[in-house]
Amino acid sequence: MPVRLFNTLTRTVEDFVPLDPAGKKVGLYCCGPTVYDFAHIGNIRTFVFADLTRRWLEFSGFDVQHVMNITDVEDKIIRKVRETGQSLAEFTGKYEGEFFKDLETVHCLRPHQSPRATEHIPEIIALIARLLERGIAYQAADGSIYFSIEKYRGCGCKYGQLVNLNFDGMRVGERVASDEYEKESMADFALWKARVPEDGVVFWPSPWGDGRPGWHIECSAMSMKALGESFDLHLGGEDLAFPHHEDEIAQSEGATGKPFVKHWMHGYHLLVEGRKMSKSLGNYFTLRDLLAKGFTGREVRFLLLSAHYREQFNFTLEGLIAAKTALSRLEQRLSEVRNHGANAQSKSVSLNDSLIAQVSAAMSDDLNVSEAWGRIFQWVTQTSQKLKSNELSEDDAAAAWRTWTKIAQGIFGIVPLQAVGASLTVSWNVEAHPPELLALLEDRQAARKAKDFKRSDAIRDELKAKGWIIEDTTKGPRLKKT
């Protein structure tokens, strides 16, 4: 079954076919963090999406080379360095370290390469020189080098491959120096920014005088160095499609004359009350904010993986609590299955191929996680019912546990609880409990619904014996320590 993925270039879901004639090797580049602050969980959503894409390709048999750059010099960083009085490396080094810790907390695989922009100044300069040679770049009066959209289009190249652009209002030669700008203010953009006093000591020598690179050229230089002039897959958040990725295409194709990237994927934003979670709006949570509230990285990951990457997703703490509870229930049921199969006699425990096929079909359909989780939840409910009615053999239970482990770990990066030895602790403002308590609570609800009050009383007594009392509130039952 081919892996099918949406391609922003063609605006369609298409078969993913790598450039490698053997169809095996895949070069994947995901724009990395700008290390000027802690990452917020919107940023983390994009990196979890990249990790999921990589895992799914690997699970499908591809040999992925995953590259994620570190943007350690750009406008915002320079501003912060100036404000804090630290050296560039000191300042960015701290946030880079914290970023990798965050990635580990949410169980992202470490990219194979994480090039830093500041360590690729010679490659950046060489790329700009190629654009100058081809007449697509020019030097402005202040010494800065700009990319000429007019010259690029004049060579028969298309500016506006990822987004539709309206060139009517564009004045030839108009320039934009900042790294971020809107489609409406499209203009020639800076490749090399001549040194200004505000840059302090952040500058490098170049054939065009002291200065520093623009943000977009950094990614063109690093991705092509790591993966070649043409590669398979380029990812990032939806806000990067323009201008960052459009400019990456223009710079790379303008310099090499070859197609830059075959397949582009963009993860949609994490929202807060309908608006993009962002530093500038101040409406953000960092991962550490959530850990301080008692949530774990795997719970945050589970929440982020519950929505399709091409769906904007509204973040709420209630949503995170619900995800935590759902994961804990799922794992409670699976731990009962695991215990039942712990002494399975069969030497070679098989896998549940049908579930793996269903989940695979969903994932190959543009990473349809909702469908995949739906299948998993359904299967867990059925397996759990079989266990309760003594219809699940020990061998089947062992196979079920193995299947879950393979899917959870291999595809979703949700390491099964037994493997991480994690405990379910009580979290902020939420009655979170060990899964066996939640299962009892759920059974009691079912008994009450069925008007089996004898059973519901028995469960209440059982919980009491364990040190918990049930409080029935308008929002449903809650457990309280006696």
Q: Which does 107 bind (CB under 5 to 8 A by kind): ligand AMP, Zn ion, none?
A: none
236 binding ligand AMP? (CB under 6 A)? yes
DSSP string, 257-325: SS--EEEEEEEPPEEETTEE--TTTT---BHHHHHHTT--HHHHHHHHTTS-TTS-EE--HHHHHHHHH
Give the nearest distance from C-beta 276 to ligand AMP in angstroms: 5
Is the CB of 40 or the CB of 195 nearer to ligand AMP?
Answer: 40
Rule CB under 6 A: choose which of 263, 276, 301, 444 binds ligand AMP: 276
Rule CB under 6 A: choose which of 64, 191, 277, 359 binds ligand AMP: 277
Q: How far apart are CA 152 and CA 137, in angstroms?
A: 9
Q: How far apart are CA 97 and CA 95, in angstroms?
A: 5
Element (H, E) at 188: strand 188-194
Give the nearest distance from C-beta 120 to Zn ion in angstroms: 12
31 binding Zn ion? (CB under 5 A)? yes
Is the CB of 72 or the CB of 331 nearer to ligand AMP?
Answer: 72
Q: Are 67 and 115 in contact (CB under 8 A)?
A: yes
Is the CB of 236 or the CB of 413 nearer to Zn ion?
Answer: 236
Give the nearest distance from C-beta 236 to Zn ion in angstroms: 6
Q: How far apart are CA 377 and CA 127, in angstroms?
A: 50
CA 414, chain centre distance (Å): 14
Q: Which stretch binds ligand AMP (CB under 6 A): 87-95, 145-153, 270-278, 300-308?
A: 270-278
Q: Which residue's Cβ lies closest to ligand AMP?
A: 237
CB burial class (10 A; 0-12, 13-18, 19+) of residue 139? middle
219 binding Zn ion? (CB under 5 A)? yes
Q: Which stretch binds ligand AMP (CB under 6 A): 3-11, 189-197, 274-282, 316-324?
A: 274-282
Q: How far apart are CA 101 and CA 126, in angstroms?
A: 33
- Which amino acid, residue 233? L
Give the nearest distance from C-beta 66 to ligand AMP in angstroms: 14
Residues contacting ligand AMP: total by CB under 6 A = 17
φ and ψ at residue 365, rounded to 5 degrees: -90, 70
Q: Which stretch binds ligand AMP (CB under 6 A): 232-240, 332-340, 372-380, 472-480?
A: 232-240
Helices (H) and strands (E) in the chain — how many of each?
Answer: 16, 16
Rule CB under 6 A: choose which of 14, 239, 365, 462 binds ligand AMP: 239
Cis peptide bond prior to 243, omega within 30° of 0: yes
Q: Which does 117 bind (CB under 5 to 8 A by kind): ligand AMP, Zn ion, none?
A: none
Is the CB of 43 or the CB of 403 nearer to ligand AMP?
Answer: 43
Nearest Cα neighbor of 28 from 111, 87, 152 is 111
57 binding Zn ion? (CB under 5 A)? no
CA geometry: angle 450, 452, 455, nearest 5 deg: 130
Q: Are 202 and 82 in contact (CB under 8 A)?
A: no
Residues between 339 and 378 with contacts to ligand AMP, criterion CB under 6 A:
none
Residues between 31 and 90 with contacts to ligand AMP, criterion CB under 6 A:
31, 33-34, 42-43, 45-46, 71
- Which amino acid, residue 26? V
Q: Which stretch binds Zn ion (CB under 5 A): 8-16, 23-31, 89-97, 380-388?
A: 23-31
Q: Which residue has the tokens 């070859």?
A: 258
Give the nearest distance from C-beta 312 to ligand AMP in angstroms: 8
Q: Which does 219 bind (CB under 5 to 8 A by kind): ligand AMP, Zn ion, none?
A: Zn ion
φ and ψ at residue 466, rounded to 5 degrees: -85, 0
Give the nearest distance from C-beta 278 to ligand AMP in angstroms: 6
Residues that bind Zn ion (CB under 5 A): 31, 219
Residues that bind ligand AMP (CB under 6 A): 31, 33-34, 42-43, 45-46, 71, 236-237, 239-240, 269-270, 276-278
